[in-house]
Amino acid sequence: MARQFTLKKCVTAFSNARMQEYFDARKFPIGIDLRRHMEEDTKAIIDAIGALPPDSRAEVERDFQDAFGLGDEGGVKSILTEADDLGTDLADHLARIDGHEDKALWTLIHAPDAFEAARTWRTVEVLNFAAIARTCPRRRLHAAMMLKKTSARRSSAFFAKEARGRYCEVDIYVREGVPDSDTGEVKGGRTLYCAYPEDYATTDIGYDDHGKRKRGTRRTAFEIIFQYFHDEGRLSLYAKGDKKRALALQRIFIDQVLDIEVPFDLRGDRVFELDGLRNPSSTFPTPPEDAVEYVLLKSLRLSIPGESGKRVTFEASENHNGNSSAPAQSLHAFLQETLNQQKRTLDQYHVTHATMQVKFPGKGHRGSVTFAVTWPDSCSLRDEESHMKIKQYLKDWGIDRA
């Protein structure tokens, strides 16, 4: 989960010595020697940052936000993984640094490539990717310079029809999988393909270095991120726009990156099969080592095929007292009662949306993940560790049919 940023939180979390090292490396004179400054006096540090020129101040805020975002156990683990992939061993350096936030800030200063890769993976964890069901050939994607250039050209050409995308850069990040302890099969490997086409020009009102208001024009980039799962040969996509655009972008990826023709109709893909949830005897087993406390089916939305606009949603009672079957029994009983009144049978309905809850260890709401799955291919789960486990559960339960 993304950490909430404020400048005060960052200044409090980072040590003065580490911040001084950062300002020295960036050659930002802040007018005070932080090594001799009291750690508790955060106001003076924030005021000194605020007195920097606008561009320098913006860079500090961006860097501090990124470092703070990686300043936890998961972020440091990601930094070490990416550094190792780049052939750099940071374990000894980071072991000598106290505090996760200081470790992250040190990496930003001294190992920016590893930091940027880790930051990208952390960003991906909180994005909602659209699932793409089509199984493609299982391939290990290489971050070759030629692939980056040709892919950037194809992306630019695609968006040229919208009078944008004249410039485009592509970054590729590979995360290797790990062998299964039982079968030895390598699982969990992923490749991120991140394209940044130029967007339309925007106009901003701001202030120059002398505090004078001015109107400026800038051209930002927007993100298109494909996530390719090596062992499954499966794609997921993060991009703004409608399904027509998503289909076109999928074809570019499959044709250009995977280097195969697209002989199938991508519009026919269906990832999630929810009709099995109509069965009141449905169970949701999970691996014992995950120590899942319960799995709840919280709501179902049903529609009648061929009768457009007719749909009904059933919600379970919140009072389950730890009995995971109670809400489902209540939901299905209400569902069956309603169908009996309408003289309809359950198999006449198609489940198009379901809300579920998985409770991992933790007091109260900690460890609880509530998510939605919508037919045919939408799911609110992200790429955090607990969410990735639930994605595997969906396959085990027969809901994810990709």
| Per-residue pLDDT of the chain in tens (402 residues, 90 and over written 9) | 556 778 999 999 999 999 999 999 999 998 888 988 887 788 999 999 999 988 899 999 999 999 999 999 889 999 998 999 888 999 999 999 999 999 999 999 999 999 999 998 888 877 766 655 455 555 555 545 556 676 777 778 888 878 888 888 888 888 877 776 677 776 778 888 888 889 888 887 877 777 788 888 878 888 888 888 877 777 788 887 777 777 778 777 777 666 655 544 554 455 789 999 988 888 999 999 999 999 999 999 988 776 666 788 888 766 555 555 555 567 878 787 877 777 777 778 889 999 999 999 988 788 899 999 998 888 888 878 899 899 999 999 999 886
* pLDDT at residue 319, rounded to an integer: 59
Residues 121 and 139 in one domain: no
Residues 294 and 375 in one domain: yes
74 half-sphere exposure, CB direction, 13 A CA radius = 13
Tell whether 176 is covered by a domain: yes
Residues 252 and 355 in one domain: no
* pLDDT at residue 133, rounded to an integer: 45
Helix (H, G, I), strand (E, B) or coil at 224: strand
Total domains, the chain? 3
Domain with 173, as residue range(s), is 130-267
Examine the fold and report which residue of 125, 145, 177 is the final residue of a domain before the chain moves on: 125
Tell whether 2 is covered by a domain: no
* pLDDT at residue 218, rounded to an integer: 79
* pLDDT at residue 13, rounded to an integer: 93
Tell whether 243 is covered by a domain: yes
Examine the fold and report which residue of 94, 125, 156 is the final residue of a domain before the chain moves on: 125
Residues 206 and 97 in one domain: no
- Other C-beta atoms closer than 10 Å to the C-beta of 314 total 17
Residues 140 and 169 in one domain: yes
Amino acid (one-letter) located at 243: K
Residues 252 and 138 in one domain: yes
* pLDDT at residue 12, rounded to an integer: 93
Residues 114 and 138 in one domain: no
Examine the fold and report which residue of 125, 152, 174 is the final residue of a domain before the chain moves on: 125
Residues 301 and 262 in one domain: no
- Other C-beta atoms closer than 10 Å to the C-beta of 321 total 5
Residues 220 and 145 in one domain: yes
